Amino acid sequence: MIEVFWASGSPNSWRVLLGLELKGLPYESRLIELGRAEQRTPSFLAMNPRGKVPVLKDDDYIVYESVAILAYLDRKYDQGTKLFGDGPEALGKVWQQVSEWTSYVEPAILEFARPIFYGRAAEQAPRLREIVDFLMVEYGVLESRLTLDEWIVGDTPTAAECLVYPTTQYLLRAARKDDARALDLGLLPFEERFPAVARWMRSVESLPGYERTYPPHWRPAPILPSPPVTIPDPVVLVPDPPPAE
């Protein structure tokens, strides 16, 4: 039995969930509450001494680090999508995209998002603008590729989708925060600046099982029923935690 230990809103967790759905593999979801430090419990640290998500447990086998998990799933299970392509040429292209994304683009996205989620957007505005300038170039490259092709590598979704989509959503969640909008950083409206990327994102969202991967705490709150209703105690809102591997 496959068990996946993950956190809501963590792009690295999200990519593993997408990979599992693309492979069509049944799995048990183990949602870890980072705010309660569940990733620091002895039982979790026994699986990953770094205390980070995601972690995948397949019977007695345990693997952590999101890209390593995707590689394991693709090698272990033949069913579903070939996450790293079919053949050496496709394998090389997928790994090229994965390496470029994790080495250059993803660190910039995380550096952009953290001060916004922690209420320091205004004081970090000059650096945020520098990052946006860099990201505009990188997404321009992706836009050119997706203008010609439906998917990032080849004719089907791959591990490239599993990496690029969640961190792009994480970027947009940060960019759409009020503090970021007030700075007019130039990334929005994203859909107008990068229409092919936006079309590609909709294609990812139409994949079977996508809804099961969406971060639960990102979903809109349910509408309260008509009176009479019980008004809950005030809720103290906290910033989104930074993503964890």
- Token digits of residue 84: 């790293």
Dist. CA 69–CA 63, nearest whole Å? 6
Parse the chain into domains and list their residue ranges.
2-76, 88-210
Strands (E), 41-192: 55-58, 61-64
pTM equals 0.89
The DSSP H or E segment spanning 152 is: none
84 CA to centre of own chain: 18
CATH architecture of 88-210: Up-down Bundle (1.20)
Q: How many CA atoms lie within 13 A of 182 on its CB side?
A: 11
- CATH 3.40.30.10 fits domain 2-76: yes
pLDDT in tens, the chain (245 residues): 999 999 999 999 999 999 999 999 999 999 999 999 999 999 999 999 999 999 999 999 999 999 999 999 999 999 999 999 999 999 999 999 999 999 999 999 999 999 999 999 999 999 999 999 999 999 999 999 999 999 999 999 999 999 999 999 999 999 999 999 999 999 999 999 999 999 999 999 999 999 999 999 999 866 555 444 444 454 444 455 555 54
Query: Which residue pairs, CB below 8 angstroms and at least 24 apart, start in 126-129?
Result: 128/180, 128/183, 128/185, 129/183, 129/185, 129/186
